[in-house]
Structure 1
Amino acid sequence: MKITGERVLAVPVQRVWDKLFDPETLKRCIPGCESVEKEGDALYKAVVAMAIGPLRARFAGKLQIHDAEAPVRCRLVFEGSGGAVGFAKGSVDVSLAEAEAGTRLAYEADTQIAGKLAQVGARLIDSVAKKLAGEFFDRFEETVAAGAA
């Protein structure tokens, strides 16, 4: 499934870039996030609890940064396992550009799911994924802007 979006954040590009890789910012912004730990220059481990339709799970996973061209673009590759519920994996291409009001952040995510998650139904999964992406970027925008004030 593909999810795309764009935001204009009223802060400089470098600040947005730095906050994209800050574990505390990620923990605050990822819906249901219990922990984010930086394991290396380009590797993070995270635990996220969420409900998707009738399924509830704790996902333990990894997030890796690939093809980073600071502060312009990167690819985030993720995978997470929710035990018997199934797993999710995919990537997000993020690009940043200067805009009149600050920074234009654009993203394109491509995800795959398997296990019981895949049996829930594509429409429900699509709507939950879009909702979670929206919540993340709402929180991210709020967090980045608040720190800049």
Structure 2
Amino acid sequence: MKVQGEIVVEASQEEVWNALNDPEVLKKATPGCKVLTETEPDSYKADIVIGIAAVRGEYEAEIKIYDKLGPNKYCLAMKADSNMGFLEGNAVVELDYSHPKTTISYEGEAQVGGKIAGVGQRILSGIAKMIVKDFFKKIAKETKARTAM
């Protein structure tokens, strides 16, 4: 399933880029993230609890940021496993600055397997889009909070 969208942040491109690369911000922005541990530069393990319908459960996730072209673009890959199945996804995240705002654009794909896959594509697609949009809204909120300090 495809996931794409954009969100406008009232901050400079550098401030948004820094937030997108800060483990604390990533932890706060990732829905249901209880623990986020950096295993090596730009690679993380996370414990995530999701309470949404068909994907409800506890997940062990691996998150990797790669192909960084700061402060303009990076790629993000995630794999999460639970007793209900797995979620895998990747996305390209791009920043476009137009004073005084930065637009975060994202486009990617996600796949599911196991019991979760039996739910139905439309439902899963809606849930995936909601989770991803929530992540980027939280990135915007955290960036704004950091710039207000």
TM-score normalised by the shorter chain: which range applies?
over 0.9
Indicate the residue corresponding to 1:89 in structure 2: 88
Q: Aligned in 2, Cα 1:55/1:131: closer, same or farther, shift over 3 Å?
A: closer
Whole-angstrom distance in 2 between the partners of 1:39 and 1:15: 24
Alignment pair present for 1:46 and 2:59: no
2:2 partner letter: K
Q: Describe how 1:66-105 pairs up with structure 2 within 5 A.
A: 66-82=66-82, 84-105=83-104
Indicate the residue corresponding to 2:6 in structure 1: 6
Q: What is the RMSD of the two structures over their aligned residues, measured on CA atoms?
A: 1.3
Indicate the residue corresponding to 2:22 in structure 1: 22
1:132 partner letter: I
SS at match of 1:71: coil
Whole-angstrom distance in 1 between the partners of 2:139 and 2:66: 21
Q: Unmatched 5+ residue regions in structure 2?
A: none
The alpha carbon displacement at 1:23 in A equals 1.5
Answer whether contact 2:31 2:131 (CA < 8 A) is retained: yes
1:20 partner letter: L
- Cα offsets for 1:5-62 (capped at 9, x unmatched): 1112111111111111211111111111111111111211111111342552111111
Answer whether contact 2:64 2:76 (CA < 8 A) is retained: yes
1:122 partner letter: Q
Answer whether contact 2:12 2:99 (CA < 8 A) is retained: no
Q: Does 55-64 or 10-19 show the bigger shift? A: 55-64
Q: Aligned in 2, Cα 1:77/1:55: closer, same or farther, shift over 3 Å?
A: closer
Answer whether contact 1:12 1:103 (CA < 8 A) is retained: yes
The alpha carbon displacement at 1:135 in A equals 1.4
Equivalenced residue count is 148
Answer whether contact 1:52 1:125 (CA < 8 A) is retained: no
The alpha carbon displacement at 1:133 in A equals 1.5
Poorly superposed stretches of 4+, deviation over 6 Å: none
TM-score after normalising by structure 2: 0.93
The alpha carbon displacement at 1:123 in A equals 1.4
2:6 partner letter: E
Indicate the residue corresponding to 1:138 in structure 2: 137
